[in-house]
Amino acid sequence: MARTPSHMVPLGTPAPDFKLLDVVSGKWLQLKELPAAIGTVVMFICNHCPFVRYIQPELVRLSKEYIAKGIRFLAISANDAQQYPEDGPAHMREVAIELDYTFPYLYDESQETAHAYQAACTPDFFIYDQSLQLVYRGQLDDARPGNDQPLNGKDVRAALNALLDGQPVSPLQKPSVGCNIKWKMETVK
């Protein structure tokens, strides 16, 4: 289990647009064509990573709670499915249905979206305001497999609550830590 930190992309960076396949609905979703939302959470996750598996119950709780409040959630898997078949679209769909993901689970086969977001690990969280400007990037909370910290999503919750309250999101943000994204050899940059 390689521990890789997320890149701390500059706050205020606009969300890169993308058009990716939602493995559950079979529809292609393009960020700029989605209806406006109070905020948008873009999560880079996958199926096999122990860090992601550990936080899945909180991802489900958090998304259900905040989608009802007008926050959009989008999960993206960009891992090389040739090397990691468990992270391919068919298995992604199974996991999304089994865990009752209430958000689209998108497959970034080309890995171009992960590169555009400067995603480094799974999980990696990016939160954008209504104008799709970055207001948060980093960890869900301090919980990691085996560290006895509570799994409560406190860092993402604090950012989302600030957005909902019309307040600035604190710039004091910690990088996420997880497994590195499994890049295809030809896309390593």
**Strand, helix or coil for residue 42:** strand
High-pLDDT (> 90) share of the chain, %? 85
Q: Which two tokens stand for residue 174?
A: 């910690």
Average predicted confidence (pLDDT) for the chain: 93
pTM of the model: 0.94
Bigger pLDDT: 5 vs 171: 171
Domains of the chain by start residue, with CATH: 4-187 (3.40.30.10)
Q: Which two tokens stand for residue 72?
A: 């959009």
| Helix or strand holding residue 74 (H, E) | strand 71-77
Confidence class for position 186, pLDDT limits 50, 70, 90: low
Q: Give residue 58's region: left, alpha or beta (phi > 0; psi -120 to 50).
A: alpha
Distances (CA, A) of 7 to 39, 164, 182: 21, 25, 16
Residue-wise pLDDT tens digits, 109-147: 999 999 999 999 999 999 999 999 999 999 999 999 888
Q: Which of 126, 121, 122 is nearest to 47 (CA)?
A: 122
